[in-house]
Structure 1
Amino acid sequence: MFKPVMNYCSKNIHPCALCGAPDADHHGLCADCHGDLPWLVRACPRCALPLEPHATTTCNHCRHAPPPFDRTLAAFHYDFPLSQLLPHIKYQRQPAHIGWLGRVLAAYLRVHYEDDWPDALIPVPMHPLNELHRGFNQASLLAEVLAKQLQLPIEPVLRKRQRTPHQMSLNLEDRRHNLHNAFDVARPPARHVALIDDVMTTGTTVSTLTTLLKRAGAERVDIWVLARTPEVR
């Protein structure tokens, strides 16, 4: 189980953000915790769903009904400790872990991103009242870390104009209807952008946002997330 990050600065010791062991040197983690993270080793390049060992390089869904976004990169399966840590960040208002998570994701992207870097990063927005209640938008904080690590600009052109029930409480069909007319685009986006979020589940939210961005002028939209859940129907 992860532990709160403690202040060791006076001793020039950098503790592991998960276990508290000293001398963490893997973007904020010790070598053991870094190696034990639920790395997503083999995934569909379009939607990042985990692939079975015998599967081809693209999942069946993306071959037969490609999503509107062009590529998805996720560093992890949504499994322990991420499955406990990410809700802890959001619902217990503990955003400090976003720092090392963003650095780990940036390192993952440097290794696995083989195309031209996007022109801008766009965090998935929250409704202003929900963000005020929580005190932060975890996607925006993650985008800030990635922007600093990768030297890319942030372009927050998306707005959520309607409050909606949490997607996690809905089935797939209800998720689609839940987001109808919930977002808009404040101004034309860059040609090639990356949408930033913490977790991708069904892809409904990023599909909705991708469609809006492409209608507004984006030519390519990639999805960058920390974790990908298994298939949800």
Structure 2
Amino acid sequence: MSSQQINSWIKNKQICALCSIRGADHHGLCAGCHADLPWLLHYCRSCALPLPLSASPGSLCGHCIRQPPAFDRTLAAFEYDFPLSQLLPTIKYHRQPAQLGWLGRVLADYIRDRQDGDWPEVLVPVPMHTLSEFKRGFNQARLLTQVLGRSLHLPLAEPVRKVRRTPHQMALSLEDRCQNLQQAFAVHARPPRHLALVDDVMTTGTTVNTLAQALKAAGAERVDVWVLARTAEVR
């Protein structure tokens, strides 16, 4: 640790989780790094796909107009861009889950400012297959959900499980993603009327859409999606 970092730590007790130089005053970040995050400002009100600056507030993307998803609304704090595009894979594949603490608190603030008043009864993390979770050592969606639950005073529930291990979605086309998840999830407990699915990144939305279909078939009436970051995926 440099002398500048040590002096910052002594003075402020905590340094910024991103720049490691300035004191943290925004849930683990300095004001500059907090402001420089790739905040998602213009997005589809259904799936949170980033939209052009010219889009009207509350617009829908073309895909959601043509084929409305099973979930009802998505809130995503960030576009999947630097530094999130480097930080989130590092969390998952290099076992650094502690970063989910400040990320979850920032996401909680974002949701608190934008939730429409009809709050979900529970938060449901996107499940991993048991073997995949054992291999990684944690489910990042569950850890993120725990931070959100504490910040927003909402309980965590897991009424759905992943019962079939599947290849990673990122290497597949949209059509193959849908086929990849067929019969991959099973609802084992009746879900509440209104819940929010929680995950770190949303790409095409295939996973959360499949989960929303299963949860609504089991009795849920409204399924929201809360994620840290949304990619600008071309469908």
TM-score, shorter chain, exceeding 0.5:
yes
Stretches of structure 1 lacking an aligned partner (at least 5 in a row):
1-5
Equivalence map 1:60-71=2 (5 Å): 60-71=62-73
Q: Which moved more, 1:41-50 or 1:21-30?
A: 21-30
Match of 1:96 among 95, 98, 103: 98
Secondary structure of residue in 1 paired with 2:134: helix
Match of 1:211 among 197, 210, 213: 213
Secondary structure of residue in 2 paired with 1:35: helix
Runs of 4+ more than 2 Å apart:
8-12, 53-56
Match of 2:204 among 186, 189, 202: 202
Post-superposition shift, 1:231?
2.3
**How many residue pairs are counted as aligned between the two chains?**
228
Equivalence map 1:1-233=2 (5 Å): 13-56=13-56, 57-233=59-235
Q: Is the 8 A contact 1:175 1:204 kept in 2?
A: yes
Post-superposition shift, 1:9?
8.0
Equivalent residue letter for 1:150: L
Q: Is the 8 A contact 1:44 1:51 kept in 2?
A: yes
Identity %: 64
Q: Within 2, Cα distance between the matches of 1:52 and 1:126?
A: 33
Equivalent residue letter for 1:109: I
Post-superposition shift, 1:232?
3.1
Q: Within 2, Cα distance between the matches of 1:23 and 1:55?
A: 37
Q: Within 2, Cα distance between the matches of 1:183 and 1:98?
A: 25
Q: Is the 8 A contact 1:13 1:22 kept in 2?
A: no
Deviations 1:89-126 (A, max 9, x none): 00111101000000000000111112311000000000
Post-superposition shift, 1:215?
0.4
Post-superposition shift, 1:158?
1.2
Q: Which moved more, 1:46-55 or 1:74-83?
A: 46-55
Post-superposition shift, 1:42?
1.1
Q: Is the 8 A contact 1:67 1:207 kept in 2?
A: yes
For residue 3 of structure 1, what is the aligned residue in structure 2?
A: none
Stretches of structure 2 lacking an aligned partner (at least 5 in a row):
1-5
Q: Is the 8 A contact 1:172 1:232 kept in 2?
A: no
Deviations 1:170-222 (A, max 9, x none): 11111000000011011001100000000000000000000000000000000
Equivalent residue letter for 1:100: W
Q: Is the 8 A contact 1:123 1:156 kept in 2?
A: yes
* RMSD between aligned residues: 1.7
Secondary structure of residue in 2 paired with 1:218: coil
Q: Is the 8 A contact 1:120 1:153 kept in 2?
A: yes
Q: Within 1, Cα distance between the matches of 2:129 and 2:55?
A: 39
